[in-house]
């Protein structure tokens, strides 16, 4: 295997951190960047601040470093944040992404761009990568526009990888579904989860392994789907998370997406993927929900609260 230099954008996020760790496990050279300040992260080292919307710095830095591959995990991914500042999020989600793709083409670098299941409306699941998108939210529309610009930048040496809801452990302990549920419980404000909203969650570690394999497989180019092996409702996922950490099911409220008319128009009710052809070409296999749950950890800042408040903390066995 040839060792490569990989520029990683969004290194402090849930997926970016997992990708950074996967890079080190495979002994490639990592250049981690983040839109925030400089920080040292466990397992990946010092992350350099580099806002991707700063075109001059972005261009100068990448031409100076000259990476073999660029992975773009950077995005404003909260639909509500996009709605609050659509023009600002467009600069990150679309304009800067298109520029990254152009720079990658100039450098001859392999480009891996992460997109979302939110480009679909949820009416025709499971979706193939060849199915026609129809995003319901501004976030979904921006991600679809970014896909188009990336795919137009070059016909080779790139992958647009659509992914789904992510489980995993984030560096700040507040990004993934289980972390948000635990924080909500600790604050006395657990999230309400929809029993009729279905997703096909994947794990950040599993997606990271797929990304690294795609970097190492330059014969695989184009638009692909990746997800976990199992479909589940948001509410049922919440119950499985509670079970993992030894909490009783009454602790989180449930609701119906169909009855929430304001949200129903903007939230797809069922987003699942057909994973072929990629699932048949990678050595990495989609992670089962059980495998994903088994790897979830209590965030460090919540561990004291957790030991005092879990209904049965003995059910939680950390995986190191």
Domain edges within the chain: 5-170+202-225
- 212, with CB counted inside 10 A (0-12, 13-18, 19+), is buried
Of 219, 201, 214, 231, nearest in space to 282 by CA:
214
- CA pair distance 22, 205, nearest whole angstrom: 8
Strand 39-41 relative to strand 193-194, pairing: unpaired
Neighbours of 84 (CB within 10 A): 11
Q: Give CA separation, 131 vs 194, 267, 273, in Å.
A: 26, 19, 10
Task: Kindly report, residue by residue over 92-121, the tens digit of the pLDDT.
Answer: 999 999 999 999 999 999 999 999 999 999
In this structure, what token pair is assigned to residue 183?
A: 């924080």
Q: Give CA separation, 29 vs 8, 23, 130, 135, in Å.
A: 10, 7, 34, 36
Tell me if the domain spanning 5-170+202-225 has CATH number 3.40.50.720: yes
**Could you please report the per-residue DSSP string of 213-272?**
HHHH-TT--EEEE---S--EEHHHHHHHHHHHHT--GGGS-EE-TTT-HHHHTTS-SEE-
φ, ψ of residue 73 in degrees (nearest 5) = -100, 5
In this structure, what token pair is assigned to residue 269?
A: 């009710």
Is 140 within 8 Å of 129 (Cβ atoms)? no
- CA pair distance 48, 36, nearest whole angstrom: 9
Task: Kindly report, residue by residue over 252-293, the tens digit of the pLDDT.
Answer: 999 998 887 565 557 899 999 999 999 999 999 999 999 999
pLDDT (tens place) for every residue of the chain, 320 residues total = 578 999 999 999 999 999 999 999 999 999 999 987 666 677 788 899 999 999 999 999 999 999 999 999 999 999 999 999 999 999 999 999 999 999 999 999 999 999 999 999 999 999 999 999 999 999 999 999 999 999 999 878 999 999 999 999 999 999 999 999 999 999 999 999 999 999 999 999 999 999 999 999 999 999 999 999 999 999 999 999 999 999 999 999 999 988 875 655 578 999 999 999 999 999 999 999 999 999 999 999 999 999 999 999 888 878 65
CA-atom Rg of the chain in angstroms: 19
Task: Render the burial of 24-60: b for 16+ CB within 10 Å, e for the rest.
Answer: eebebebbbbbbeeeeebeebeebeebbbbeeeebee
Outline where the chain has alpha helix (H). Answer: 14-25, 55-65, 79-84, 86-90, 97-107, 138-153, 177-186, 204-216, 234-245, 261-264, 278-281, 289-294, 303-309
Strand 198-199 relative to strand 158-163, pairing: unpaired
């Amino acid at each position: 295997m040839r060792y490569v230099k990989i520029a990683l954008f969004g290194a402090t996020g849930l997926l970016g951190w997992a990708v950074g760790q996967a890079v080190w496990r495979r002994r490639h050279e990592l250049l981690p960047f983040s839109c925030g300040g400089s920080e040292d992260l466990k397992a990946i080292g010092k992350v350099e601040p580099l806002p991707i919307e700063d075109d001059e710095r972005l261009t100068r830095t990448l031409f100076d470093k000259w990476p073999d591959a660029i992975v773009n995990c950077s995005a404003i991914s909260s639909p509500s944040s996009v709605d609050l500042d659509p023009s600002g999020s467009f600069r990150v989600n679309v304009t800067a992404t298109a520029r990254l793709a152009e720079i990658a083409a100039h450098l001859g670098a392999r480009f891996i761009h992460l997109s979302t299941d939110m480009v679909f409306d949820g009416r025709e699941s499971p979706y193939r990568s060849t199915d026609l998108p129809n995003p319901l939210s501004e976030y979904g529309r921006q991600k679809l526009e970014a896909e188009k610009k990336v795919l137009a930048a070059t016909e080779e040496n790139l992958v647009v990888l659509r992914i789904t809801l992510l489980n995993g452990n984030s560096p700040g302990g507040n990004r993934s579904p289980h972390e948000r549920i635990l924080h909500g419980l600790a604050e006395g404000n657990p999230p309400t989860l929809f029993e009729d909203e279905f997703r096909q969650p994947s794990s950040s570690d599993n997606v990271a392994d797929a990304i690294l394999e795609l970097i190492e497989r330059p014969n695989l180019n184009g638009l692909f789907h990746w997800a976990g092996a199992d479909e589940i409702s948001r509410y049922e996922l919440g119950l499985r998370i509670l079970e993992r950490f030894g909490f009783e099911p009454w602790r989180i409220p449930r609701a119906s997406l169909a009855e929430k008319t304001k949200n129903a128009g903007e939230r797809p009710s069922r987003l699942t993927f057909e994973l072929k052809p990629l699932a048949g070409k990678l050595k990495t296999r989609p992670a089962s929900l059980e495998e994903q749950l088994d790897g979830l950890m209590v965030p460090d800042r919540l561990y004291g609260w957790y030991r005092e408040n879990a209904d049965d903390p003995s059910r939680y066995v950390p995986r190191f």
